[in-house]
Chains A and B, each alone.
Chain A
Amino acid sequence: MKRRDFIKSSLLALGGTTLMTTGCGKGKLIKTQGQVIKRRFKDIDIPLLGFGCMRLPMNNNEIDMAELDKMAEYAMAHGANYFDTAYMYVDGKSENAIGKVLKKYDRSSFILADKSPIYKMNSREDVRKIFDEQRKKCQVDYFDFYMCHNINANTVDQYKKVRMVEELAKLKDEGLIKYFGFSFHGTPEILQDVVKDYNWDFAQLQVNYLDWDVVKAHEQYNIVQALGIPVTVMEPLRGGGLVNLSEKALAKLKENYPNSTPAEFGLRWAASQNNVVTVLSGMSNLTQMKENIATFENFTPMSEEEIKVADEMAKIIQSQGEINCTACKYCTEVCPKGINIPAIFSLYNQYKVTKSAFHLKIYYETLSESERANNCIKCGLCNKNCPQNLPIPDLLAQVQKDYEKAKSEA
């Protein structure tokens, strides 16, 4: 090779790499016209927007198969080929429905994620039995992504006892699972322990701009990131809580970004985290799907200003709601029992908006045992410090009561 050519090609290569790195943002984003953006994960490219199959289109208490078929078609046509289902979604009907609509596509053209229900497992044998059942329901031979479903304070013992990891690792070795991970709704302490159980391919966490601080989502995120475990995001819009924003929070968004919608903003926030490979959104009709796909066709990671606005919005959301807590944390400074009062009130306020007992339960359980309301001894030290004059011990008792109720319902 001539010197001139060598210099030329080197410059070209250099230019190319710079273009790739700067043009594609932080985490190697792959852009194609008319398709949702993709991110590299191990040896495949996966869409940054995944189809969460917990809230499927419904018609008279039955899954609206026609609408679902249309949605799947639209998603596949736009490269959003990641489908995330689970054993108990839509009363156990989600897997069947997804299996039916995906049947007409080549198996290699879509990515299917499913989860192993910990609560169902009485023995190690059950793990494989249920896995086979799920394969039948979904009409597939293998799962691309497969998880231990919902590891938390209540399930972690069962998960350890039946040695799910060992059994599922075997299935992975047999090629029936391509990537093995877990979905998590527990405390950072439990997560610290769980990450050591296996060389996980990925972790499914609840990541959104409100929970980043409130229920210490960033701590969970940091724990898995430190180990180089990529994250798939669930609850990016907190079960709709970040779509139906309060007037004040919405005003904050519109004042800064008049063209932005709460859903778009929330999804983009979650997708902008470096270590996130896909953000799962539960879409219940084609319109929602079209909106979300549009968001991800032209996705750019959030700027620092946008992230700042999200922080401010989180603060506004926290300070509003039935309990007028501003999260100033004066109470936690004095609480002799170390109860995380602002976080408890924040998630309770969310519960009052969404009325979702399920979310109250899972979010409440991401707090450590010692941070929860039942530790309150009603000494009243917090009352003295609260600038809002909230009757904190009584409110804590109320939250605890509602949580107990939510727990018994679930």
Chain B
Amino acid sequence: MLYKIRFGIAILILITAILGITGIFYPLALFDIQIAPLIQRIISDFTVITLVITIIMLLLTLLFGRFYCSLLCPLGTIQEITALFRGEGNEETRKNLPVKYFITAITIGVMIGGSALLIRYLEPYTYFGSAFTLSIIGIIAIIAIIVLTVFKNRYFCTNICPAGCILGLLSKLSLYKMYIDKNECLSCGMCERNCPSGCIDSGEQYIDNETCVKCLKCKGLCPKDAIKYGIKPKEEVKFSLKRRSLIILGASLAVLAGAVKAGIETGKILGEKIKNVILPAGADNAQRMLNKCLNCNLCINACPNKILTKSNKEFGAVHIDYTKGEKYCKYDCIECAKVCPSGAIKKISLEEKQKTRISMAVINPEKCSKTGECINICPMHAITKEGNEPAKIDASKCIGCGRCKTVCKSNAIEIFAINDQQRV
């Protein structure tokens, strides 16, 4: 019963997430609590609220285990739905492979160092976002994960996913755990065969809480109701750090340190030379955007004017393309910043956005037909015209929204990218 309720909620959340990513309806809160973007946001756009949300999420995980994976993670639910069609089948308990610690140390380390270069390609929320906005990488990743699910069930979650790895470590220490009541258990193996994470050993009557995603499937299946979800009674708790674990821990920390350093270097180099790209207000500059944007593409459909475009040959992160959609950035709109979960587009206020120069409009006096259409349309009142002179833009007022260009019939206005966003 619990399993069905949980699964039902998870599907509802998945549907909401799909609606959000395709731009039909924005479940802001849902995207604000995604784990990897949260950590990223602490680094790229620190606010107390972000920190509080992160702490709450981590505390909840410490209380209840990695429930995120089977409730909030859209990709987790997609895997679970896929698994419905594959039937039972974890013939043997899978090993808890240490390679995931290194994957996590590298990706998270580089991210802490300052570059989202790697996490962008290994993080389930990003896969989900980019797949549902039809990015090739996202689609390939999701198909790969679905195929993986068919053969190995939630192998991605338990052995690859960096977010899952962090939550798993917390889950190991969580208050509420899944455990088998040894007095009741018949060792029938029902739970083990059906566990999507392969974390149950029915012979040993043991559940590995690190890889258990708290899907609660086993709990419903157990004929004797021997599987409990609660505070595990302290019986044979022999907490011992084995030599193997110590080595893995040490090695992961070393890898983490190295990755942080690599991340700092990458952050400095990546996008350093790129100067010809226009970004949404709050993204600062091309280098920062390239190092902070996860390419989840949530903002692309959130933009009412549809001027945002996903990562392409010209630029490896979301950016503005003034040839798309309405061809200008709406003056009284800050949707992209509102929805950005990773802080790549900083959560600036509407007032701040209206004072942020993102590019620069320049009038070619030779081409100007002097009809003055641009003058009244400019939200900044930056354009003036005297007598029969060509129109002039007061550069100090222009924020580069591109509105003037859309009304200019003589094609006299050009919008130029700038190096760094400026306050006017």
State the A residues within 8 Å of B (CB).
Answer: 334, 336-338, 369-370, 375, 377-381, 384
Contacts and interface: CB of A to CB of B under 8 A. Distances in A.
13 contacts: A334-B422, A336-B418, A336-B419, A337-B418, A338-B275, A370-B273, A370-B419, A375-B275, A377-B360, A377-B416, A378-B362, A379-B393, A384-B396
Given A336-B422, A337-B418, A338-B419, A379 B275 contact: no
A78 B419 CA distance: 54
A212 B67 CA distance: 61
B103 interface: no
Contacts of A337: 275, 416, 418-419
Contact of A380 (B395, B416, B418): B395
Report, nearest first, the 3 A-B pairs whose CB atoms are least far apart. A336-B418, A377-B416, A381-B395
B18 interface: no
Given A337-B275, A370-B273, A370-B275, A381 B419 contact: no
B88 interface: no
Nearest to A338: B419
Contacts of A336: 357, 360, 416, 418-420, 422
Interface string B394-424: 0110100000000000000010101110100
B152 to A, nearest CB: 44
A379 B395 contact: yes
A45 B327 CA distance: 68
Interface string B376-396: 000000000000000001011
A265 B398 CA distance: 48
Interface of B: 273, 275, 357, 360, 362, 393, 395-396, 398, 414, 416, 418-420, 422
A370 B418 CA distance: 11
Nearest to A382: B395
Given A336-B360, A370-B273, A381-B395, 19 more contacts: A336-B418, A336-B419, A336-B420, A337-B416, A337-B419, A338-B275, A338-B419, A338-B420, A369-B273, A370-B275, A370-B419, A375-B275, A377-B360, A377-B414, A379-B360, A379-B362, A379-B395, A379-B398, A384-B396
A338 B360 CA distance: 13
A204 to B, nearest CB: 27
B355 to A, nearest CB: 15
Contacts of A378: 362
A242 B409 CA distance: 53
A348 B416 CA distance: 26
Contact of B416 (A334, A369, A370, A379): A379
Contacts of A384: 395-396
Contacts of B398: 379
A378 B395 CA distance: 10
Contact of B396 (A369, A370, A375, A381): A381
B215 to A, nearest CB: 52
A376 to B, nearest CB: 10
B406 to A, nearest CB: 19
Contacts of B416: 336-337, 377, 379
Contacts of B420: 336, 338
Nearest to A368: B273
A317 B187 CA distance: 91
Contacts of B275: 337-338, 370, 375
Contacts of A380: 395
Contacts of A370: 273, 275, 419
A334 B393 CA distance: 16
B182 to A, nearest CB: 63
A379 B357 CA distance: 13
B424 to A, nearest CB: 10
A334 B414 CA distance: 19
A378 B360 CA distance: 10
Nearest to B273: A370
B140 to A, nearest CB: 34
Contacts of B393: 379
Nearest to A383: B395
A370 B414 CA distance: 19
A369 B395 CA distance: 24
A338 B420 CA distance: 9
B155 to A, nearest CB: 42
A115 to B, nearest CB: 29
Nearest to B359: A336
**Interface hub of B273, B360, B414 (most chain A Cβ within 10 A):** B360
**Interface hub of A337, A338, A379, A384 (most chain B Cβ within 10 A):** A379
Nearest to A336: B418
A241 to B, nearest CB: 31
B346 to A, nearest CB: 19
A316 B210 CA distance: 70
Nearest to B392: A380
B7 to A, nearest CB: 53
Contacts of B362: 377-379
Nearest to A370: B275
Nearest to B360: A379
Contacts of B273: 369-370
A379 B273 CA distance: 21
A297 to B, nearest CB: 47
Contacts of A338: 275, 419-420
Contacts of B414: 377
